[in-house]
Amino acid sequence: MTEFLLLLLAHVLVDFYWQPTSWVTDKKKKSFRSKYLYWHILLVIVVSYVILHQWDNPMPALLLGLAHGIIDVVKISFDKKGSLAWFITDQIAHILTIAIAALLLTNTIEPGFKQFLTWLDTPKTLATMAGALTSLSPVSFLVGILTRPWREELSKLAPEADDNLANAGRWIGMSERLLIFVFVLANQFSAIGFLIAAKSLLRYNDKAPAPETSPAYISKKSEYVLVGTLMSYTCAIAIALMVRMFY
């Protein structure tokens, strides 16, 4: 575990703190022809080697640097728009190579894999994963269906209203439910109250509506947001309480 954490620290430092924006821009333009790609790989090797401080064994750092460069080239070749999916895929690939290197360093790759499978194949782990995933998209669809009549009523009151960012409400709801799910599992119910208070304060400080917006629309929009929020929170708390039965 120590080796994994050391290599993960090296990765975070090199990829996010010690890689200038000019290097990233040049790599996107020139891919494997960019000299900064090789400077980046060299930095990965040096930092990994130093942070591991296994002076008689440079091979893990060298292999990590090579793997890091290959992963970066693949990402640059296929990710033309800087998408979230490719960013997550890229980071997962880096973390997997770090985990493999750490297991090889400690000669525990087979026991480590068996331990991971044992941890994964438990009711507690499976319930937690299923509960977290259920509290995200499935609950979003449920709340969307339940609040559809009020959403349609709002669209009739102000058909030209464009006061929401695309999909912002869905992402806010999923983030809130995930936080609540974690808070309930951690037995931190007071933090849920803080989350509700913080959201209420943000809603209170919203910019004043446009002059042409009717008071009825403003009032009903507030009620719609409140109902949707309470439904979302109730679902997250209920799911987390069910998951706690497996703990």
Q: Which two tokens stand for residue 178?
A: 């995930």
> What does the H/E/C string look like for the chain?
CHHHHHHHHHHHHHHHHCCCHHHHHHHHHHHHHCHHHHHHHHHHHHHHHHHHCCCCCCHHHHHHHHHHHHHHHHHHHHCCCCCHHHHHHHHHHHHHHHHHHHHHHCCCHHHHHHHHHHHHCCHHHHHHHHHHHHCCHHHHHHHHHHCHHHHHHHHHHCCCCCCCCCCHHHHHHHHHHHHHHHHHHCCCHHHHHHHHHHHHHHHHCCCCCCCCCCHHHHHHHHHHHHHHHHHHHHHHHHHHHHHHCCC
Return the pLDDT at 102.
85
Return the pLDDT at 17.
93
Contact at 8 Å (CB) between 219 and 159? Answer: no
pLDDT digits (tens, 9 = 90+) for 31-69: 889 999 999 999 999 999 999 888 888 888 999 999 999
pLDDT digits (tens, 9 = 90+) for 194-215: 888 777 766 555 544 555 556 6
Q: Does residue 72 carry a pLDDT above 80?
A: yes
Per-residue confidence at 162, pLDDT binned at 50, 70, 90?
A: low
